[in-house]
Amino acid sequence: MRHTTPRPGVYYGWLIVATTFWMAIFTGGGRTGFGVFVLPMSAELGWSRGTISLAAALGALISGVSQPFVGRLYDSVGGRRLILVCLLLSGLGTALLALTNNLVFLILVFGVLLSIAQAGSSLTTTSALLSKWFHRQRATAMALTTTGSSVGGLLLVPLMAYLIGLIGWRLTWVVLGLLVLVLVLPVAFVLLRDDPEEMGLRPDGDAPLSDAEQAKPVLLGPLEVADWRDAFRSTPMWQLCGAYAVCGFSIALLSTHFVPFAIERGFSPATAASAYGLMSGLNVVGVLAVGALSDRCGRKLPLGVVYALRGCAYAALVWVPGDWSVWSFAVIMGFSYWATAPLTSALTAELYGLKHLGMLNGVTFTGHQIGSSLGIQLGGLLRDLTGSYALPFAMAALLLFAASLVSFGIQEKRYSARYQTRPEPPVSYTG
């Protein structure tokens, strides 16, 4: 890919990254901390682990089903409008959870309203937005945004555990909702922009192209699509979706059931939340390293390694004895927790182009959320049936090793626009 010398000064795209990072702290971090609420809500409302997991599982499934529609809206109306409306709904919906008294209300607010609203400000839309602002440093920019969820886990999960002990779980939901409305929504309103061209800028902050450079043909990947449906006629899309479904299974299983598992192992709620926070903190390092590395050496190899590391983490959780299982899991998982997200989004953009990236990210994330729903519900049901989390955690380990092999099999150099040396027309799909 050709590029010119960047303009002097700070490129506005990095302010977009800072804004999406700030959003992820309070939206992604708050949702992944749902496990902290499982025990106190179960104790007060008299629900079993499987019952309260049902609301989270349905939420993950509804979030997944809504992602293609959210992606289509992004492609139609732009990211800024969509994100602002969804942030407003996220803040209000989170505060409403303080009124939870029955399962139907929890499902409607957490499972439906919040799931759809947070889909609109999730990596589905922010990754598509950042893909317009960055080409050469795309994975690095996405990785920085992704670490926002990890920083949110590092800061908010211990904070939530502390607040629940101090003011109860109901007021804690109110505090989380106010954080989104007061600290996130105004920042996004002021700073978010849809496209560098709106500000007379080019991706990566490059200087304007000369007339000679504008005359050169753009190098496209052979799979770049004019219709998003055509992407599913090629093998890499199914490989990405299948592996991402396993990603969702393992992440949601962790976010909902890790804290209860650690408490059952004899850890106090504060220590269990701290272990989760350690994992989230280490993930900042892991995601940034993976993003920077993949901008230099490609996407599929880091992606396969990340899935393999995550499989090792779950294996440690099941088979390492005593307290070491929790801490070894936190450390290994910490370097791989959210690292698949920027790699998957960046690779999707480079294989299939930007025209329908919102929709493709949405469909891919649907697979992720279907896996999330299965992970949450199976984790709760199998725990109730067997009295242990060993079986669902072992299933996660095996699935992650399979996802690693699938990722290694993606033919990136053949299909990615990053590796094209001469202009090629996109593949023509017929019948």
- Max mean pLDDT among 14-18, 47-51, 354-358 falls in 14-18
Mean pLDDT of the chain: 82
Q: Is 60 or 184 the better-scoring residue by pLDDT?
A: 184
Cβ neighbours for 7, distance < 8 A, ≥ 6 positions apart = 201, 205, 206, 207
Count how many Cα atoms sit within 13 Å of the Cα of residue 212 in the half-sphere of its side chain.
Answer: 3
Give pLDDT tens digits for 343-396: 888 888 888 887 777 788 778 888 887 888 788 888 888 888 888 888 988 999
Please report the domains of the chain, with CATH numbers, ordered by start residue.
13-197+218-418 (1.20.1250.20)
Average the pLDDT over 302-326 and give the result.
86
Amino acid at 122: S
pLDDT at position 36, please? 80
Distance of alpha carbon 314 from alpha carbon 392, whole angstroms: 10
pLDDT at position 303, please? 92
pLDDT at position 398, please? 95
Cβ neighbours for 280, distance < 8 A, ≥ 6 positions apart = 29, 149, 150, 151, 152, 153, 154, 157, 334, 337
* b/e 382-395 (16+ beta carbons within 10 angstroms → b): bbeeeeebeebbeb
Q: Is the pLDDT of residue 430 over 60?
A: no
Distance of alpha carbon 330 from alpha carbon 423, whole angstroms: 46
Q: What percentage of the chain carries pLDDT values higher than 90?
A: 21
In whole angstroms, what separates CA 36 from the centre of its chain? 19
Q: Is the pLDDT of residue 200 over 70?
A: yes
Distance of alpha carbon 291 from alpha carbon 339, whole angstroms: 8
Distance of alpha carbon 116 from alpha carbon 110, whole angstroms: 9
- Max mean pLDDT among 51-55, 161-165, 183-187 falls in 183-187
Give pLDDT tens digits for 86-124: 999 999 999 999 998 888 898 888 888 888 888 788 777
Tokens of 291: 């993003």
Q: Is 430 or 141 the better-scoring residue by pLDDT?
A: 141
Q: What is the pTM of this model?
A: 0.72
Q: Is the pLDDT of residue 217 over 80?
A: no
Distances (CA, A) of 219 to 6, 129, 351: 20, 21, 12
Tokens of 366: 């649907």
Contact predicate 36/156, CB 8 Å: no
Cβ neighbours for 72, distance < 8 A, ≥ 6 positions apart = 358, 359, 362
pLDDT at position 142, please? 84
pLDDT at position 30, please? 61
pLDDT at position 405, please? 96
Give pLDDT tens digits for 28-47: 766 667 778 878 888 888 88
